[in-house]
C-alpha cells in the first residue's frame, strides 16, 4: 500500500496497471460516497438518476433522440473537416492565406447574431441547424489545422528539397502525409467542442428533436433526475466517440505515441 501511495504522488511517474486501478477505485469510491450521502438537494441520488435514465430510454424514446443527435454531429464534423482541411491546405499558397485566416478569426463571433443569417440561406430548420453547427466546428478546427502547418520546420521542407522534390511534392510528404496524425488528433480534440455545442444548436432549432431538445425541456420543468441522467448519457457517449477517434489514431499512426512519457 505504501508503494502505491508513493507512486500516486510522485511527479511524472509511469504507473503500473495495479496502481492505476487502485487510484481509480479510490476516486470512484470517494465520489460515489460523497454523491450518495452529501444530502445536497441539487444533487440527485444515483438510484434516482438510474430510474430516470430507464424511463427516458424505455418510455420516452430517448435512444431515438440520441441517434438523431449523434448522426447530426458526425455529419457536421464531416463537412467541417472537409472545409477546414481544404482551406488550411490552400493556405500554403500565399493568395489563399487571407481567406483561411479570416475564417479562423470568425471564432470570435457570437452565434446569437448569426442565426438569422443562416436561416436566410437554408431551406428549413434542419439545414439551419446543420449550417450553424458546421460553422461552430469549422472556425475552431481550421485554427488548429493552421497551427499545425505554421509549426512545420524549415528543415523538413529543406530535407524534402534535397530529395529533388518540387514544392507540391514537399507539401504532400511533409504536411499532408507527415502531419496526418496531428490532424487526426486535432479532429479528436475539436470533436469534444462539437459534442458540447450540439445541445445548444438543437435547442435553437427544435423541430427535429434530439438530446438538446429533451435536455432543455427537462431542465425547464426542473426535473433534476432526468437532467443528470441525460448529462451522464451524453458524457458516456462523448467518451466513447473520443476513445474511437483515439483508437483510429493509434491504429493508423502507431508511431505518434512512441515518444510519449505516458501512453
Among 216-220, 226-230, 239-243, whose mean pLDDT is lowest? 216-220
Sole residue written with cell 431515438: 64
Q: What is the pLDDT of residue 67?
A: 92
- What mean pLDDT comes out for the span 207-213? 82
Distance between CA atoms of residues 47 and 225, nearest Å: 9
The per-residue pLDDT for range 2-21, each reduced to its tens digit, is: 666 677 777 877 777 777 78
| pLDDT, tens digit (0-9, with 9 covering 90-100), for 71-127 | 999 999 999 999 999 999 999 999 999 999 999 998 888 777 777 777 777 878 788
For 90-241, where are the E strands, in sequence order?
A: none
Residue 6's Cβ-count burial label (10 Å; 0-12, 13-18, 19+) is: exposed
Q: Calculate mean pLDDT across residues 29-52.
A: 82
- Domains defined for the chain, CATH in brackets: 2-37 (no CATH), 46-257 (1.10.3720.10)
Higher model confidence: residue 170 or residue 207? 170
Amino acid at each position: 500500500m505504501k508503494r502505491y501511495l508513493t507512486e500516486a504522488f510522485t511527479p511524472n511517474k509511469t504507473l503500473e496497471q495495479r496502481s492505476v486501478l487502485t487510484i481509480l477505485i479510490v476516486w470512484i469510491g470517494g465520489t460515489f460516497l460523497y454523491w450518495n450521502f452529501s444530502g445536497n438537494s441539487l444533487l440527485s441520488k444515483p438510484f434516482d438518476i438510474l430510474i430516470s435514465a430507464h424511463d427516458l430510454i424505455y418510455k420516452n424514446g430517448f435512444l431515438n433522440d440520441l441517434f438523431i443527435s449523434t448522426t447530426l454531429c458526425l455529419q457536421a464534423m464531416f463537412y467541417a473537416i472537409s472545409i477546414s482541411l481544404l482551406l488550411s491546405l490552400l493556405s500554403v499558397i500565399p493568395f489563399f492565406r487571407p481567406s483561411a485566416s479570416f475564417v479562423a478569426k470568425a471564432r470570435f463571433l457570437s452565434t446569437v447574431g448569426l442565426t438569422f443569417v443562416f436561416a436566410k440561406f437554408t431551406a428549413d430548420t434542419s439545414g439551419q441547424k446543420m449550417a450553424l453547427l458546421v460553422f461552430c466546428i469549422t472556425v475552431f478546427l481550421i485554427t488548429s489545422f493552421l497551427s499545425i502547418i505554421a509549426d512545420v520546420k524549415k528543415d523538413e521542407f529543406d530535407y524534402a528539397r534535397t530529395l529533388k522534390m518540387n514544392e507540391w511534392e514537399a507539401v504532400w510528404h511533409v504536411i499532408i502525409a507527415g502531419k496526418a496524425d496531428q490532424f487526426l488528433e486535432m479532429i479528436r480534440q475539436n470533436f469534444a467542442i462539437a459534442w458540447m455545442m450540439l445541445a445548444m444548436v438543437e435547442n435553437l432549432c427544435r423541430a427535429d428533436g434530439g438530446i438538446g431538445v429533451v435536455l432543455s425541456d427537462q431542465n425547464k420543468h426542473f426535473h433534476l433526475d432526468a437532467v443528470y441522467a441525460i448529462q451522464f448519457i451524453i458524457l458516456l457517449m462523448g467518451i466513447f466517440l473520443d476513445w474511437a477517434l483515439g483508437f483510429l489514431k493509434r491504429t493508423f499512426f502507431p508511431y505518434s505515441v512512441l515518444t510519449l512519457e505516458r501512453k
